[in-house]
Amino acid sequence: MSQTGGPVTVEGHAGEQAVAALQGFGVDVMFTLNGGHVWPLYEAARHRDMRVVDTRHEQSAAFAAEAYAKLTRTAGVAVLTAGPGITNGVSAVTSAWFNGSPLVVLGGRAPQGRWGSGSLQELDHVPILRSVTKSAGTVTDPATAARVVHEAVATAVAPHRGPVFVDFPLDVFGPSAGELPAVDASFGRAAEPDTDAVAQLATRLAAAERPAFIVGSDAYWGRAEEALRAAVEALRVPVFANGLGRGLLSADHELAFLRTRGLLKQRADLVVVIGTPLDFRLGFGRFGSAAVAHVVDAESQRASQIDVPSVVGDIATTLTGLGRHGGARVDHDAWIVELRDAEERARADEEPLLAATADPIKPSRIYGELRRRLERDAVVICDGGDFASYAGKFVEVHEPGCWLDTGPYGCLGNGMGYLIAARVARPSAQVVALLGDGAAGFSLMDADSLVRHGLPCVMVVGNNGMWGLEKHPMQAIYGWDVACDLQAGCRYDEVVRALGGGGETVTDPDEIGPALDRAFAAGVPYVVNVVTDPSDVYPRSSNLG
């Protein structure tokens, strides 16, 4: 957030003011797909030196903007043209709503002076966007554009974060000037938690025999990694993670656990869920007979379906308070050893799966090959059904902001937009997307965007020739299936090659590793299309999301 001090006057049309307002928050790129209604925003980006990255579908632009927010912990911006440009982005906006990601969507809009006469793409977007954003509105007076956009971004980045929408009727782009408020250093910070509530939770943790933390995305957004590490090392509490919580504590930390969620459910006596909703991924907040406490960054995040004690406010402050709480505490080392032993057994059980020589290829073998090639700061993106679930099970995350999954909205098709943003935000890290063959079909055309913008990355397609996460359950429930089959062995690599990238199809398990090596070295967007065993079914009960 670069701009400080008092308000300044921005000379220029509403687009100039909007881009100046974005830059005040440190935004340096917009993701978009062209449409005449938003040209003034491009003109301002050109004038003010903001990078413009365009995609082949507005969904990818909006997913890219969301991922950019996730990767940078600042606002991510999509510029979508009026009507279909905006409605094409709605699923990605909704994903950001579920993910609590500060996505800012600036939209074009038919002219207000002729509203109701049937202009091209004359649609009132605001009611459509209102239910999936923190705020949605229209700039009606050009002199307010800087302030409206400034306030929209401030709303997006304020905990609990989420998407915002502002559209600009074509006729607000006339010559103008507007006042741009200063960016305050306190923007983006949650309220202070209640110290008594923190102390009560600390007392309960001190008395618990088998406590655990489950840490999610809002701890990442709240930059709580240092406070988390300090707290769990002081309290000796095992940590599980989901979403962007993964990597806050490195997977190889002695208190980080990935494979023992079943044991957590059977044995824990206190589960403190931090910065993630008590939703289906967490059994709606029930962990066997364990007591549950919830640490959230805003009142809106308290669970409504279950009554558990909550601490509301800045998550890093809450964790710091927990870690510093003195006094006697129950020793947890036997519990940690119990979990660690089970974790190591589960890890050993994985080894044959990761090394599977079966033909056709087991998806787990792909992860065995990938895991040994991933660097600690690799960005891993998931988009798919069973194939993505395996990623959650087998990929170990070592640093914050390195794991991008779809999130609880579960909208397939995020992968390519996320890839675009990941390479823009992390120019030198490994960037890998794990795509089901079904998921890949939503947006593989955006390999073209990766090529045009010079964004090398690795895509791995788990090609089982089906919508596996639907086909297997349909078979189990009905004994038949419909609308579940895709082309077996389809050459997604040829699609990417035709678009100017690289790629190959792999059918021999021993060729996966060398193909991944070629992909990482290629210097272009490169797909490894692995034909996998169609009879393989993900063991779903063990997944926590």
Ligand X SMILES: Cc1ncc(C[n+]2csc(CCOP(=O)(O)OP(=O)(O)O)c2C)c(N)n1
Q: Does residue 88 interact with Mg ion by CB under 5 A?
A: no
Q: Which does 386 bind (CB under 5 to 8 A by kind): Mg ion, ligand X, none?
A: ligand X
Q: What is the C-alpha to C-alpha distance for residues 156 and 204, in angstroms, rounded to an integer? A: 34
Site for Mg ion in 424-453 (CB under 5 A): 436-438
What is the Cα–Cα distance from 342 to 303, expressed in whole angstroms?
31
Which of 3/505 has CB closer to ligand X? 505
For position 469 contacting ligand X by CB under 6 A, the verdict is yes
Query: How far is Cα 50 from Cα 427, in angstroms, rounded to an integer?
Result: 17
* DSSP run (H or E) holding 29: strand 29-32
- 438 lies in the site for ligand X, by CB under 6 A: yes
DSSP letters spanning 268-288? -SEEEEESS-SSGGGGGG--T
Residues 450-489 that bind Mg ion (CB under 5 A): 464, 468
Closer Cβ to ligand X, 335 or 467, answer by number: 467
Contact region for ligand X (CB under 6 A) — 51-59, 255-263, 468-476, 521-529? Answer: 468-476
The 10 Å Cβ neighbour count of residue 236 is 17
Closest contact distance (angstroms) between CB of 386 and Mg ion is: 7
Q: Which does 469 bind (CB under 5 to 8 A by kind): Mg ion, ligand X, none?
A: ligand X
Query: Pick from ligand X, Mg ion, none: which does 76 bind, CB < 5 to 8 A by kind?
Result: none
Q: Which of positions 383-422 make contact with ligand X (CB under 6 A)?
A: 384-387, 410-413
DSSP state of 382: E
List, in sequence order, the alpha helices (H) in 270-385: 315-324, 333-354, 363-371
Strand 177-180 and strand 8-11: pairing? antiparallel
Please list the residues that pair with 31 across neighbouring strands: 53, 78
CB of 527 to ligand X, least distance (A): 14
By beta carbon distance, the residue nearest ligand X is: 436
The piece of 302-310, 320-328, 415-423, 430-438 that touches ligand X (CB under 6 A) is: 430-438
410 binds, among ligand X, Mg ion, none (CB under 5 to 8 A by kind): ligand X
Residue 142: phi and psi, rounded to 5, are -55, -30
One-letter amino acid at 476 equals A
* Cα 447 to Cα 427: distance, rounded to the nearest angstrom: 17
The binder of ligand X chosen from 227, 404, 466, 527 (CB under 6 A): 466
Smaller CB separation from Mg ion, 55 or 464: 464
Phi first, then psi, for residue 341 (nearest 5°) are -60, -45
511 vs 145: CA distance, rounded Å: 55
Residue 470 contact, options Mg ion, ligand X, none, Cβ 5-8 Å cut-off depending on partner type:
ligand X
* Integer Cα distance of 16 and 106 in angstroms: 13
Choose the contact partner of 412 out of Mg ion, ligand X, none; CB within 5 to 8 A by kind.
ligand X
- Contact set with ligand X (CB under 6 A): 384-387, 410-413, 436-439, 462, 464, 466-470
- Contact set with Mg ion (CB under 5 A): 436-438, 464, 468
